[in-house]
Chain A
Amino acid sequence: MTGTRLIVGPFNRVEGDLEVHLDVADGAVRSARVNAPLYRGFERMLLGRPPSDALTLTPRICGICSISQSAAAARALAAAGGHVPAPQGERVAALIHAIENVSDHLTHFTLFFMPDFARSCYAGRSWHARAVDRFAAMEGAAARQAIEARAALMHILGLMAGKWPHTLAIQPGGVTRAPGPRDKVRIAASLAAFRRYLEDVVFGGPLEAFAALSTREALMDWETGDAGLFLRIAADLDLDALGRGEGRYLSFGAYPLAGGHAFAPGLWRCGARYPLDLSGLVEDVSHAWMLGGPAHPGEGQTLPDEDMREAAYSWCKAPRLNGESYETGALARQVIDGHPLARDLAGGGVLARVAGRLLELARTQGLMEDLSRGIEPAARFMDPAPEVREGAGAGLVEAARGALGHWLRVEKGRIAGYQIVAPTTWNFSPRDAAGQPGPLEAALVGAPVAQGDETPVTVQHIVRSFDPCMVCTVH
């Protein structure tokens, strides 16, 4: 078979727009180029504004992970002003952030990822009827249950954050809402209901039992709930081998609290963990329609190349750490945090990424319950931070999809520099000057493509296994 060129896109059921260009030869992808075709220019609009405006503007980069953006902006402002948030405020911020992240994991699994297994190309498989029944797009039973459970869980966001998406409650000094004893009870009740849903529907068993799985083999023996259905499908289609990563992971550390992060920060490469050091971080623009040279986000700029030069193919910059690309997301977080199951899955493909997300879903429920139990209504939830006049700082958080950083520079009370590197910027980055592909581009190589198939389902699985958020990628 001779080589063919495929353009897969627009991609539906991802947040935002995405196009993937594939060179196919001998029934498999030989090389891939990922294009983020949407640019809005947030980093440029922030220049010259009062620093606190970032708290309102940056969440609007993304309607899916607005709390992550808001948490990163608040952290960056606090860092620039040398301010420490009130510990209880930090706790509530962690709780509402965790709620957004688990909601995202649930939405991804139920509405975006699983519906592909209900496609007619899988009609002969033993699990197909069940997949259709549970997950057919917009009709499957799972979607309704998930939307309902998620909406009920988000009552906590209503309560503590006023509204979601685009919450305003998180500030550099803590949160604007001090929960009373009654709120604490309501939060606990909402969390209990969500646990019931997860245990009845998603996992079909105790969350602690799922979180206690420590090997790939033990994972594959999990039979109950929608997780069990996924694992059956994964075994049948060998999703572990599909879209394997390069085994380099990055996490900024999730839920910073007075006693450290709930999920540890760090790097994972060559099978070992290293401390997080971002001094070697640059954003490469050799294949992005951006002007300027490679720069650390602390000094970087965003200058779109309006000529859209031929050598480039995406609006997305390519973040590299010490010259290497890194994959980020739930799997990365769990590997770096040291969970034995995640470590066993490290370097894996579609199965590893989706199982990493399920594992985190199970573990985060317990974390949210702990956070809510530790709320002390009499404490202070905000230690107000004065507006920053001069300074620079980074806000590093973990969104559902991975490491999110805001780098802020303030001069004379105005924003003089603002650079954002989002999780999908890492995962879906284009090539760098050395020609090294981004993580998705690398993962797509070797994916089988049937002759004449214009929207290869394998490519869909791999792309979605990263849970892309394109509106964040280029902002």
Chain B
Amino acid sequence: MAEIETFYEVMRRQGITRRSFMKYCSLTASALGLGPAFVPKIAHAMETKPRTPVIWVNGLECTCCSESFIRGAHPLAKDVVLSMISLDYSHTLMAAAGHAAEAALEETIQKYKGNYILAVEGNPPLNEDGMFCIVGGKPFVEQLRHAAKDAKAIISWGACASYGCVQAAAPNPTRATPVHKVITDKPIIKVPGCPPIAEVMTGVITYMLTFDRLPELDRQGRPAMFYSQRIHDKCYRRPHFDAGQFVEQWDDEYARKGYCLYKMGCKGPTTYNACSTVRWNEGVSFPIQSGHGCIGCSEDGFWDQGGFYDRLTTIKQFGVEATADQMGFAAAGVVGAGIAAHVAASALKRAQKKTQDKEEV
């Protein structure tokens, strides 16, 4: 196989200075929750390791993942990551078109056989032999299988690739199917969210490129460093939840005071993602901060859980039917009941506290 240049060489070629490079290494270390001791390790890895080629393909999707990705965190990190992965094949951003583009994909696959990362945005629809999503005259599912065959690992970007997302919503007209149900013989890392947070995307890809291995994954195949806590756990409105202070109606007095959105249907208590810590649009805000509850877009099946504005405890499916999914629903039911208990307990505590305060007076 041809000699592949190192990350550092690629960055230098793209005009990134040594100083910026070192800054980037420390940013990465902190973004990934690693100590300062890791900075020289990251720098060393990037100076000596050959660059990992990335092929980025698009199936049934809305391009929101790409949109999120190109708005990545620190402008520097974004520059570096973009130049680093060089997106050997990216449908949305590359220069080549038509047959030239198809040729570029093929060439990249051949040149870096067994060595590239396949990033998948969107998913393949399987109904009608895949005819609902045609790329280059062939069903996307064929392109996906072909590109996956020689990939080292696969990143499933977003809720589409990870779980199916809204196009898989009942009745799932095209039988949109998540990547791991089509490709079963490759390591797959799921980065769910609709879209995923830009910093999470760059963080995951940087980790893989730098350390040449998958980050630690949870049981669902998500990187633990970004998906191990619920939105609720680090939500800045959490004290209001604990105090039993809730928004009752859009833009009411309590909304202006920033009370908890649980009663407006917020799914923060059952959603694992980094929104309440990393936040969105370069750390400016996140949905709850803008006064709207979380819809749980990084959770499997978020699109078919009853109305998006239903309170968690009133999710209609609970216990209604005995199906193959009964176990899953039952588990979700426990979470719902847990929350109800949690609210009650919090309010109770508050009441007790009040009584105690009175007694002390």
Which A residues fall within an 8 A CB radius of B? 7-13, 15-17, 19, 37-42, 44-45, 49-50, 52-53, 55-57, 60-64, 66, 86, 89, 111, 115, 118-119, 136-139, 144, 147-148, 150-151, 154-155, 157-166, 168-169, 171, 173-178, 304, 306, 308, 315, 380-382, 384, 454-455, 460, 471
Contact = CB atoms under 8 A, between A and B. Distances in A.
A57 B305 CA distance: 12
Interface string B48-75: 0000000000101111111110110001
A16 B307 CA distance: 28
A9 B138 CA distance: 11
B94 interface: yes
Contact of A155 (B134, B170, B249, B281): B281
B174 A381 contact: no
A165 to B, nearest CB: 4
Given A41-B173, A42-B166, A176-B291, A158 B251 contact: no
B289 A162 contact: yes
A380 B255 CA distance: 11
Given A9-B136, A455-B99, A44 B171 contact: yes
Interface in B263-309: 275, 279-282, 284-292, 295, 297, 303, 306-309
B67 A13 contact: no
B132 A53 contact: no
Nearest to A460: B97
B315 interface: no
B128 interface: yes
A72 to B, nearest CB: 15
B71 A137 contact: no
B180 interface: no
Contacts of B176: 40
A137 B94 contact: yes
Contacts of B211: none
Interface of B: 14, 58, 60-68, 70-71, 75, 78-79, 82, 86-87, 90-102, 125, 127-128, 131-137, 165-167, 169-174, 176, 194-195, 249-251, 255-256, 275, 279-282, 284-292, 295, 297, 303, 306-309
Residue among A40, A154, A306 with max Cβ neighbours from chain B (10 Å)? A40
A16 B171 CA distance: 23
Contacts of B170: 45
A373 B137 CA distance: 51
B132 A151 contact: no
Residue among B195, B284, B297 with max Cβ neighbours from chain A (10 Å)? B284
Contacts of B256: 178
A158 B281 CA distance: 5
B173 A45 contact: yes
A178 B307 contact: no
A365 B265 CA distance: 36
Nearest to A168: B292
B62 A177 contact: no
Contacts of A66: 62, 64
Contacts of B287: 162-163, 168
B309 A52 contact: yes
B62 A38 contact: no
A308 B127 CA distance: 13
A212 B149 CA distance: 57
A41 B168 CA distance: 9
Contact of A60 (B165, B250, B279, B288): B165
Contacts of B281: 151, 154-155, 157-159, 163-164
A13 B93 contact: yes
A115 to B, nearest CB: 6
A64 to B, nearest CB: 6
B307 A52 contact: yes
Nearest to A40: B167
Given A162-B287, A163-B285, A471-B62, A12 B165 contact: no
Residue among A39, A66, A144, A169 with max Cβ neighbours from chain B (10 Å)? A39
Contacts of B291: 162, 169, 175-178
A383 B286 CA distance: 23
Given A159-B285, A163-B287, A164-B280, A9 B98 contact: yes
Contacts of A111: 93
A86 B250 CA distance: 12
Contacts of B308: 52-53, 55-56
Nearest to B78: A147
| 5 tightest Cβ-Cβ pairs between the two chains A and B | A63-B64, A41-B173, A158-B281, A158-B284, A162-B290
A154 B68 CA distance: 11
Contacts of A174: 250-251
B219 to A, nearest CB: 26
B174 A40 contact: yes
A389 to B, nearest CB: 14
Given A38-B60, A41-B174, A151-B281, A63 B165 contact: no
Given A11-B97, A63-B64, A19 B284 contact: no
A12 B280 contact: no
A37 B286 CA distance: 34
A45 to B, nearest CB: 4
A176 B92 contact: no
Contacts of B173: 39-41, 44-45, 304
A9 B282 CA distance: 35
A60 B71 contact: no
Given A12-B101, A162-B292, 6 more contacts: A8-B97, A38-B133, A50-B309, A56-B308, A160-B290, A382-B250
B307 A50 contact: yes
Contact of B91 (A10, A147, A176, A381): A10
Given A9-B98, A161-B290, A164-B280, A138 B194 contact: no
B3 to A, nearest CB: 22
Given A12-B97, A60-B62, A306 B128 contact: yes
Contacts of A144: 79
Contacts of A8: 97-98
B161 to A, nearest CB: 13
B96 A384 contact: no
Given A162-B286, A166-B64, A308-B131, A13 B99 contact: no
A155 B282 contact: yes
B17 to A, nearest CB: 15
Contact of B137 (A7, A44, A148): A7
Contacts of B165: 60
Contact of A138 (B61, B94, B102, B135): B94
A11 B308 CA distance: 35
Contacts of A155: 281-282, 284
Nearest to B169: A45
A175 B101 CA distance: 42
B326 to A, nearest CB: 23
B133 A17 contact: yes
Residue among B90, B176, B250 with max Cβ neighbours from chain A (10 Å)? B250
Contact of B98 (A11, A64, A150): A11
Contacts of A304: 132, 173
A50 B135 CA distance: 34
